[in-house]
Structure 1
Amino acid sequence: MPTEKVAIFDTDVDSRVSDNPADNVQRAQQQSEVDVTVGLVAGLNDDELIARDSRLLRVKLDWRLLPLLWLLYTRMSALGASSILGLIGDAHLSAEQFNTLGSAFYIGYLVFEWPQAWALQRFPVAKWVLFNIFLWAVFLGLHPICKSFGSLFALRFLLGASEGAVTAGLMLVTGMFYTRAELGERLGWTFQCNGFAQVVSGFISFGVYHVNPNSKPNQWHWLMIAVAILTFVCACIFLALFPDNPATAGFLGPEEKHLVIRRVRDNQNGIETKKWKKEQFNEALRDPKTWLFFLFAAVSNLQNGMGVQYSIIIKSFGFTTLQTTLLNIPSGVAQIMGITLGCYMLRKMPNSRAYLAILFFMPSVLSAILLMTLPFHNKVGLLSSFYVMSFGGAPSFVFVVTWVASTCAGHTKRLTTNTIFLIGYAVGQILCTQFWRVRYRPRNLVPWGLCLASYAGDFILILAIRTLFDRENKRRDALQRERREEEEFGWVEVNGERKRVHKSLLDLTDCENLSFRYVL
C-alpha cells in the first residue's frame, strides 16, 4: 500500500490526514462535525434512488430556485447611470472623486468579505443573504439625501459591505442543489441577470430623464428611489420562497430531499457544515489553487472600470444624455447573449472551462484594440466595439466562478477559497476604477491599454490552473489503480446511534478525499 498522502499538487496537508484515505473516511464521528443533511440520509439504502431519473426533480429545482436567483442578480447600484443624471453636479464631485466612489463600493466589499464568510457558515445562508439584500435596499434609498462626496462614499462603502454576502452565498447555495455538470449553466444563467439589470436600468434612466432636473426629487434621486423599491420587493419575494439548504426546503418532499442529496453526492463536497474548522482554513491558505484563483480574479477585474464609467464613455463618443440612457441597453443584451452562448457550449463540452474562457476573451481583446485604434469620429464603430467587450468578458469570468465553486470540498475550506477569490475580485475592481482619469479622455488609451495587457495575464493563469488540475487528476487516478479498494462510506453518531453515511457528507476536503476529481 503506498504511503503517499492525498494532497493536492503533491503538497503535504495537515497531519490529521491519514496515509490511507479510508482512515480519513472513518475520522468524522460526531454529527456536529459533518454535513447538516446526515440526519436525513444516515443509514438510508439509496439503491432505489440511484436508479431513478432525476430529470423531473432538476426541472422542479430550476422552476423554484432560478427565478429567485435571477431576481437577486437583477439588483442595480445605479451609480453609473446617475453620473449623467445630475449626481456629479449635485454632490459637487470632481472626476477623481466620482472614480473613488466606484472604488468605495469594493473597499467595503473587501473589508467585510471575511466577516460575511464567517456569517454565511454561522447563520442560515438564505436568511443571511436576505438580510444583506434588505440593507442594500435601505442604503440605495438613502442616496438622495446625500449632498457631498463624504456621505456618498460612506453609503457606497456600506453597499459594498452588504454585497459581500451575495456572490459568496450564491456560490454556496447552488452547489447544495445541483451537480457540477449542472452548476456551470445555473451560475451562468444567474450572472447574465447583471446584463438584464443594465437593460432595466437603461429604461428607468430614460424614464427619469424626463423629470424636471430642477425639481425635488430630481432625476438621479428618482433613479435611486426606483431601484431601492425594486430591490425591496425582490427581498420580500426571496424571504417567502428561498430555502437555506435541501434539508429545510419546504417545497421538497422527504424522498425528493433524499434524491437531491443523492444527486449531488458525486460532487464530493457535501451540502453544508456549520462548524468552522481551523485545519480546513489553514489547508485553503496552503493550497496553490486558492492563490491562482485569487490572482485571476484580481487581474481579470482590471478590465471592469466601465461598470461605473459606461455612461461617461458612451456619451464621450458624441451622443446626447437622452441617447446615452438608452444606448447602454445593447451592452446588457450583449452580455446576456454571450453568457447564454457560453452556457450552451459548456453543456456540450463540460470539461472545457479553461479553453472556453480563453475563447470568449478573444472578442474582448479585439474590442480593446478597436477602441484604441478606430478614428474617434466613427461613433458607430466605437459603440459597437464597446458592446463586443460586454459579449466576451462576462462569460469568461462566469466560467472561472463556476470553476472555483466546483473544485473545492470541505465547507470551511470552500468558504475560505471563495472568500479569497472574491477578495481578489474586489482588489481588481478597486484598482480599475482609478485608471479612468480625466486626462485620458476622450480616447482613454491608457485604460483600454491596461485592459488589453490584463488579458495576457488571464490566459497564463487559466492555463496554469488547468495544467495543475489535469496533473493532479492523473496522479489520483494512478493512486486509485494501485490501491484498487477504497472505503466509500464512513460512520457518524446521530442521536446516540452509529450510522453509515457516504464519505461526501463527512466534510472531507478535496485534499483528503482521493475520489475527488477537479473539473477542467
Structure 2
Amino acid sequence: MEPVTTLHRDDSADEKSLNEKGSVSDGSLEAVNYDSGVDVAVGLVTGHADDADIDPQESRRLRIKLDWHLLPLLFVIYTVQFIDKQTLAASYVLGIVKDNHLNTDQWNTLGSAFYIGYLAFEIPQNWALQHFPVGKWMSLNILLWCIFLGLHCVCHSFGGLFILRFLLGASEGCITAGLMLVTSMFYTRTEIGERIGWTFQCNGVGTIISGFISFGAYHIGEKTKPNQWQWLMLISVFLSLIIFVLFILFFPDNPTTAKFLTEEEKLKVVKRVQGNQNGIETKVWKKKQFIEALTDPKTWLLFLFAAVADLQNGLGAQYARVISEFGFTNLQTTLLNIPSGLTQIMGITLGCYLLRLFPNSRIYIGVAFWIPSIIAAFIQLFLPFSNKVGHLVSIYVLNFGGAPAFIMTLSLCASSTSGHTKRLTTNAIFLTGYALGQILCTQFWKAQYAPKFHVPWTITVTTHFVSICILLTIRYVLNTENKRRDRLKAEADAAGKHLPEFDEFGYKVDKAFLDITDRENLAFRYCL
C-alpha cells in the first residue's frame, strides 16, 4: 500500500499543516510542516479521495475537450512567437543590416540580446507565474512583446535594436515556462510529453510562414517606405495582437477556474491528473521548496543539459547568413529555410508517436534523435563546400533531429518535479540554462570563420556528444531513485506498514494536492 498523506487542522495556530512519514522501515513518523498554502484544487477534491476511478471513455472525452480548448491557443502562440523570433534572422536579407549600419559582431550580439533579456527575467517571470493568474500574466506579456516588436521599425542604430531585443526576450520569457506549467495542470505525464511536442511543432510552422512572409516582403521595392524589413516586423505585430486578444478572452488560469468546464468536469480533470503526483497550483511561495530545488542534483543536471544543448542553436539566428554563403541569392534564401520547418515537424511528430508507444522512454528517444543531427554536423564539416545542395540538405536533417531531442527533455523537466514552488524554480533554472546557451551560441559565427564555419560546426558536434552523456546521467540518477523507492514500498508492504490517514472534518485529501515535493512524496516516481 502506498504511503498516504492527508490534511488536518492545527487548532492552536489556526493554520494548515502537512504531515508525511519519510521512513517506512522503522515505523517512525517524520513531520513536514508548512505555515500556509496548499493546492488550489484542494477545495474541489476534498471528500472525493475514495471516489471510483474515472471511466476510460470519460477520460478520453475530457482529454478531447481539453485539447479543443487549449491546444489551438498554444499552437497559435508558439507559431507567432517563433515568427517574431525569426524576424531578426529573416531581416538579414531584407535590409536591416544596411539601414541600421550593423557590422558582423553587432549582428551576432543582437542575436544574443534577446536571450540576455530572457535570462535576466526568467526567475522573475516564474515568480510572477506563481503569484498571478497564469493566463492573464501570459496575455500581458504578449501585449508587451507586440509593443517592443513594433518599435523595431523606428530603430536606426545598433543600440536601439539591442534594447528592444533585450525587452522582447524579457517579455517572451514566460511563454515556455507557462506552457510547461499549464500542460502539467491539465494533462497526464504521457499527454504532457505529446502536447509539448505538438506545440513545439509550431516552431516549424512558424519557420514555414516566416519564409513566405519574408518572400513577400522581399518583393516590396527596396526604396519604399516602410522598408522591406519593417514590413516584416509590422506583419508580425499584427499577428501577435490577434493572439493577445484570443488569450485574454479564452486562455484559462488553471482547471478550477476554466470557464469551458462544468463543476463536475473540473473535478474529473483534476482527478485524472492525480497520478502525476504534481498537484495543480499553489499561490504561496515556499522557501523550503525553493532551497530544495537549489540542492536537488537533477535541477543542475537539467540546467547543464539546457546550456550545452542550446550551444548548437546559433544556426537559428544565422540561417539566412549561412544559406546565403552557399551561393544562393537573397530571394532564394528567403524560401530555402522553409524545408527546415517541415523536417522539424516531421521529427517532432515521430518523437511524439514513439513516446506514445514507449511512454517512459523520453531520454532514450532524445538520445536516438541526436544521431541524425550529429551526422548532419559531420556533413557540414567534411563535405566539399562546392556541394551546396548537400550542405543545404544537412541543415534540414539537423532540424529533424535537434528539436525532438530537446522537447523530450523539456517534457521530462515538466513532469519530474512536484511542489509548486520547487517546480517553478526548477523550470526557471532549466530555462536559464537554455537562455545562457542561446546567448553564447550566436557568438561562434564570426566573420573570419565564413563561409565554411568550421569552428561553429565543430562546437555543434561536440555539444551533441556532451548532451547525450548528460541525458544518460540524468536517467541513471532518476532510475536509481525510482528503484530505491520501490524497495521502500516493498519493505512497507511486507511489514504491513503504511502511513496513517488523517482527515479534516472527516474528509480525506489525496497527498498529490497538498503541495509536497517529489523528495518528500515517496509515492512519486520520476519519468525516464
Correspondence list, 1:66-465, <5 A? 66-75=71-80, 76=83, 77=85, 78-465=87-474
Structure 1 residue 52, shift from structure 2 partner:
5.3
**Are 2:45 and 1:41 equivalent residues in the alignment?**
yes
Pair 1:210–1:474, CA change in 2 (3 A): same
TM superposition shift of 1:47 = 2.4
Identity %: 58
Q: Kindly tell me: are residues 341 and 33 of structure 1, through their superposed partners in 2, closer, same or farther at Cα, counting changes over 3 Å?
A: same
Given the superposition, is the C-alpha separation of residues 488 and 426 from structure 1 closer, same or farther in structure 2, using an over 3 Å criterion?
farther
- The amino acid of 2:78's aligned partner reads Y
Counterpart in the other structure of 1:4:
none
Partners of 2:438 and 2:506 in 1: how far apart? Answer: 49
> 2:525 is matched by which residue type in structure 1?
R
Partner of 2:498: 486
Letter paired with 1:74? T
Is the CA contact 1:26–1:491 (under 8 Å) kept in the aligned structure 2?
Answer: no
Q: Structure 1 residues 488, 465: CA separation in 2 closer, same or farther (over 3 Å shift)?
A: farther
C-alpha deviation, 1:84, in angstroms: 0.9
The answer to whether structure 1 residue 59 and structure 2 residue 64 are counterparts is: yes
Checking the alignment, whether the CA contact within 8 Å between 2:355 and 2:361 is kept in structure 1 is yes
Segment drifting more, 178-187 vs 373-382: 373-382
Of the structure 1 ranges 145-154 and 132-141, higher mean CA displacement relative to structure 2 is found in 132-141
Q: CA deviation at 1:24?
A: 8.3
Kindly state the Cα deviation for residue 255 of structure 1 after the two structures are TM-superposed.
Answer: 1.2
- Matches of 1:281 and 1:251, distance apart in 2: 33
In structure 1, give the amino acid aligned to 2:195: R
Q: Distance in 2 between matches of 1:310 and 1:29?
A: 50
Residue pair 1:28, 1:491 contacting (<8 A) in 2 also: no
Q: TM-score, normalised by structure 1?
A: 0.93
Give yes or no for the alignment of 1:519 onto 2:523.
no
For residue 490 of structure 1, report the CA deviation from its aligned partner.
5.1
Distance 1:257 1:24 in 2: 34
Inter-partner Cα distance in structure 1 for 2:22 and 2:406: 37
After superposition, the C-alpha distances for 1:132-191 in whole angstroms (9 at most, x for unaligned) are 111111111110100000000000000110111111111000000000011100000001
Deviation at 1:441, TM superposition (A): 0.4
Q: Please tell me the residue identity of whatever aligns with 2:38.
A: V
The separation in 2 between residues aligned to 1:153 and 1:488, in whole angstroms, is 58
- The count of residues paired between Structure 1 and Structure 2 equals 501
Q: 2: CA distance between counterparts of 1:25 and 1:106?
A: 43
Moved more, 129-138 or 277-286: 129-138
Please state how far the C-alpha of 1:48 moved relative to its aligned partner.
3.6
Q: Retained in 2: the 8 A contact 1:74–1:196?
A: yes
Contact map agreement 1:74 1:193 (CA 8 A) in 2: yes
C-alpha displacement at 1:235, in angstroms? 1.3
CA contact (8 A) 2:21 2:30 kept: no
Q: Secondary structure of the residue that 1:351 maps to in structure 2?
A: coil
In the superposition, relative to structure 1, how do residues 24 and 369 fare at CA in structure 2: closer, same or farther (>3 Å)? farther
Structure 2 counterpart of 1:504:
512
Partners of 2:55 and 2:451 lie apart in 1 by 62
Partner of 2:509: helix, strand, or coil? strand
Kept after mapping to 1: 8 A contact 2:22/2:30: no
Report deviation, 1:25.
9.9
Instruction: Give the letter for the 1:486 counterpart.
Output: H
- What is the CA–CA distance in structure 1 between the aligned matches of 2:213 and 2:382, rounded to whole Å? 33
Evaluate the alpha carbon distance shift between residue 297 and residue 490 of structure 1 in structure 2; reply closer, same or farther with a 3 A threshold: farther
TM-aligned CA distance change 1:498 to 1:36, over 3 Å: farther
State the secondary structure of the residue aligned to 2:184: helix
Measured after TM superposition, the shift of residue 257 of structure 1 is 0.6
Conserved in 2, the CA contact under 8 Å of 1:41 and 1:501? Answer: yes
Shift of 1:17: 6.9
- Amino acid in structure 2 at the alignment position of 1:503: K
* CA positional deviation for 1:379: 1.4
Q: CA deviation at 1:265?
A: 0.3
- CA distance in 2 between counterparts of 1:436 and 1:24 reads 58
| Residue 44 of structure 1, CA deviation | 2.3
Listed one character per residue, the Cα deviations across residues 1-39 of structure 1 (whole Å, up to 9, x for unaligned) are: xxxxxxxxxxxxxxx975447998985688x51100111
**Aligned partners of 1:25, 1:177: CA distance in 2, in Å?**
31
Relative distance call for 1:52 and 1:301 in structure 2 (3 A) is: closer
1:52 and 1:458 map into 2 onto residues whose CA distance is 38
- Consecutive unaligned residues of structure 1, counting only runs of 5 or more, are 1-15
SS in 2 for 1:275: coil
1:319-375 Cα offsets, whole Å, 9 max, x none, are 111111111110111111100111001110111111111110000000000011111
Residue 67 of structure 1 aligns with an amino acid whose one-letter code is: P
Mapped to 2, the partners of 1:325 and 1:241 lie a distance apart of 34
- Partner Cα distance (2:344, 2:500) in 1: 42
Give the letter aligned to residue 414 of structure 1.
R
Give the residue type in structure 1 aligned to 2:265: E
- Unaligned ranges ≥5, structure 2: 1-18
Cα distance in 1, alignment partners of residues 28 and 251 from structure 2: 37
Q: 1:377 to 1:268 in 2, by over 3 A?
A: same
Question: Could you say what secondary structure the match of 1:370 adopts?
Answer: helix
Q: Distance in 2 between matches of 1:93 and 1:489?
A: 67
Give the Cα separation in 2 of the matches to 1:488 and 1:321: 70
- The separation in 1 between residues aligned to 2:502 and 2:209, in whole angstroms, is 50
Partner of 1:6: none
The CA distance in 2 between the partners of 1:250 and 1:140, in whole Å, is 31
- How far residue 50 of structure 1 moved from its aligned partner, in angstroms, is 3.1
3-state secondary structure, aligned to 1:517: coil
Secondary structure of residue in 1 paired with 2:508:
strand
Q: Distance in 2 between matches of 1:230 and 1:185?
A: 26
Counterpart secondary structure, 1:74: helix
| Contact map agreement 2:49 2:510 (CA 8 A) in 1 | no
CA distance in 2, matches of 1:166, 1:267: 22
Question: 1:472 and 2:481 equivalent?
Answer: yes
